[in-house]
Chain A
Amino acid sequence: MVGWSGLRKSLLVALFVAPMFLGVLIFNIYPILLNIYVSFTNYNRFHPNPDCDLWLNSIMEPRCWPMFRPRLPQGLGTPFTLQQPLYQNYSELFGRLFTSRALGDLAQIALCLIPLGLVFLLHRYWERRPGQLANRGWFWGGAFLASFALAAGLNLPRAVLDLMESGDFIAVVFRTVFFVAARVPLSFLLGLVLALILNRPSLPGRTLFRVVLFLPWAASSVAILMALVWQFFFREQGTINQLLALLGIKGPIWLNHPFSAFAIVVLVDVWFSYPFFMVVILGALQSIPQELYEAAEVDGASWWDQLLHITLPLIRPAVLPATVLTSITAFQMFGTAWAITNGGPITGVGKPGATEFVMIYAYKQIYQLQNYGRAAAFAVIIFGMLFLATLYSLRLTRITKGAYE
């Protein structure tokens, strides 16, 4: 670009970027550092104020800074300091994770996943050498069978349940992973089916259906209120049970059973998220050249063959990044479960509830229990996990491409 260069350009860039960067520094980066610091303290409702004589507190805790010091209320309980030992909050979260029993369970779970992992690596190897057309379906089938046999042989459900007993962190993360594993494929399938139907250009009423089917995604802008409406369907005196009563059946209290509560949260979140897949897949479908299908038809390929060998492979580049993004979003789901179950139903005294996912757990620790130190420690670990997932998704979506150009 013509115009200024040298010092004037540097000044100009600084002028343009500085306000935004200052905002990011104060409200995004500093909170992350402060959060890491708080995770090593016993900051909670019994120790609401900092001990400003501690030099780390006087540096990290903004309320201890000279200009804000006058606002600090005095004499409310004992002030918070560093935990003894320092990693106390983390060890409370992990519980008995690092005992031989829990680690044994973890090893069993890992063992069951080995066949799938191997075939996944093999698959990536094949992708780089498209010449070798081995029958991949058989390999995947074999891997699934092997994993399943291992799971049955090692009594995997017992290992998982046992592991989830070992501490809050593992229980919450496993539950969230189950949620993601149920919700993402379901919304993908629903989105795929609807996109395939809507892709027919000659279908009368297509535009209307598209708009109506997009509604749930639009409703996710006020997710928590929408989820409250859904919750009403499943209340003890809710719509579903009213309908059942008309048929003479006394409906169960849906939200009091761990399994049905979990299933309902999955259902409602599928409702919120399938339009995302539908839109992505529709976009991808429209970029597939029609000639491919015509050629396939000449060759006598059935509709099913066309789907497996033309449609799905060709929408993959668009769908894969979308799946990773939506998995990360699902991992952070908050509104749906909070409005419907509040994280419940209870699974035991002092244990996270049956639908207490990652964000719900963090929110409860902060909002209801005021257990800030532990919430911060939890946040640090989840930060780490999300950071890795995001790096992976950035590589996959190549969204940073623009940054290098």
Chain B
Amino acid sequence: MNRRTKPVVLIVSYLVLTLAALFAFYPIWFAILASGRIGDRLYTLNLLGMFIPTEWTFENYQTLLFDRPFLIWIRNSLYVAGLTTLGALLLSTSAAYAFSRFRFRGREFMLILLLAIQAFPGVLSLVAVALILTALGLFGKHLGLVMAYTAGALVFCTWNLKGYFDTIPIDLEEAAMIDGCDPIQAFLRITLPLARPALAVTALLAFLGAWGDFVLASVIVPAPDHMKTVVPALYSLANSVSIPWGQFAAGFVLMAIPTILVFLFLQRFFEAGLTLGGVKG
């Protein structure tokens, strides 16, 4: 706050920042170190080895990639999360546009209903969702998981896109319509191309939601091993009897760290939305 900072304040500031950065970064760094450690141990008695890689092997990566169905898990997750993203965007984009551009009876009620639904976490409706999926014959199948995720993502996507459509000036569409477009053409040709960045961010968030989920996946697709998505699969790998912790760490590096990086990239979009009190993804 003072424009000229006293040296003592500066030193204390950096001390706090460094400790906090260590606190923030060490667990992730620890997983990276553990993934290259020799043997099945995550820890080392060597004090230096806790902070820098004193020994390194790709054994864990090799076992994970070639002896375990890691790539199949990744493929399952990509398939499920990809279809979820597609489904959620297809259903929510047109609805968000209608909410943003048209005034019709029941609009406010529906918007608030959506927000109220958003408050209910997936775990709590799990019993009912599982029953519905069983009736449809989709329990234990990837498509069932996609349906459950899509339902969860719909509300968030609709609100997010509606918020963005609200910021696009309506004049453009009106001009297009004066030139002879009908509302559907105006939506497809004018608004959608303009909303491309918002669509991309929303898609990415919907994707990440399905990609990182554990609860629904562990209940709806509990087995067999080659059907699992990557998060529950890695979770059970870490909790299995033989405890191949090094392999878990390797899986963490291969799967979680790219996810974390994508999330970091999304940071500025969060910051923009958060100060408005936006919905947390």
* Contact present for A379 and B95 (CB under 8 Å): no
- Also in contact, A386 and B119, with CB within 8 A (given A31-B125, A31-B129, A34-B132): yes
Instruction: Verify B231–A222 contact, CB threshold 8 A.
Output: yes
| Given known A-B contacts A1-B101, A2-B178, A228 and B24 have beta carbons under 8 A apart | no
Report the interface size for chain B: residues with CB under 8 A from the other chain: 110
Q: Which residue of A lies closest to B276 (CB)?
A: A399
Is A71 a contact of B24 with CB atoms below 8 Å? no
A221-B212, A404-B108 known; A21+B134 contact, CB < 8 A: no
- B28, B150, B218: the one contacting A23 at CB < 8 Å is B150
Say if the beta carbon of B116 comes within 8 Å of chain A: yes
Cβ contacts B103-119/A at 8 Å (1 or 0 each): 01001101110111111
| Contact yes or no, A221 B42, CB < 8 A | no
A212 touches B21 (CB 8 A): yes
- Once bound together, how far apart are the Cα atoms of A292 and B261, in whole Å? 38
Query: By CB atoms of chain B within 10 A, which of A31, A32, A198, A237 has the most?
Result: A31
How far is the CB of B107 from the nearest CB of chain A, in Å? Answer: 7
Residue in A34, A283, A390 whose beta carbon sits within 8 Å of that of B116 in the complex = A390
**For the complex, what is the distance from the CA of A349 to the CA of B116, rounded to whole Å?**
37
Verify if A232 is at the interface (C-beta below 8 Å from B): yes
Which residues of chain A are within 8 angstroms of B154 by Cβ–Cβ distance? 20, 23-24, 27-28
How many residues from A make CB contacts under 8 Å with B?
A: 117
Which A residues lie within 8 Å of B267 (CB)?
Answer: 211, 214, 218, 279
Measured CB to CB, the nearest residue on chain B to A310 is B1
Q: How far is the CA of A61 from the CA of B130 in the complex (A)?
A: 11
Q: Give Cα A59–Cα B104 distance, bound, in whole angstroms.
A: 32
- Complex CA gap A19/B260 in Å reads 33
B168-188 CB contacts (< 8 Å) to partner A = 170, 173-174, 177-178, 182-184, 186
Task: Assess whether B256 is in contact with A226, with CB atoms less than 8 Å apart.
Answer: yes
Chain B residues, CB < 8 A from A126: none
Per-residue contact bits, chain A 352-373, to B (CB 8 Å; 1 contact, 0 not): 0000000100110011000010
Report A271-291 residues with CB < 8 Å from chain B CB: 271, 275-276, 279-280, 283-284, 287
Q: Chain B residues in contact with chain A, CB under 8 A? A: 1-3, 5, 13, 16-17, 20-21, 23-25, 27-28, 30-31, 34, 42-45, 47, 50, 90-92, 94-95, 97-99, 101-102, 104, 107-108, 110-112, 114-121, 123-129, 131-132, 134-137, 147-148, 150-151, 154-155, 158, 162-163, 166, 170, 173-174, 177-178, 182-184, 186, 208, 211-212, 214-215, 218-219, 231, 234-235, 238, 245, 248-249, 252, 255-256, 259-261, 263-264, 267, 270-271, 274-275, 277-280
Q: Report whether over half of chain B's contact residues are helix, strand or loop; otherwise say mixed.
A: helix
8 A/B residue pairs, CB under 8 Å, sorted by A: A27-B151, A29-B117, A34-B131, A219-B28, A219-B256, A232-B245, A400-B112, A403-B107
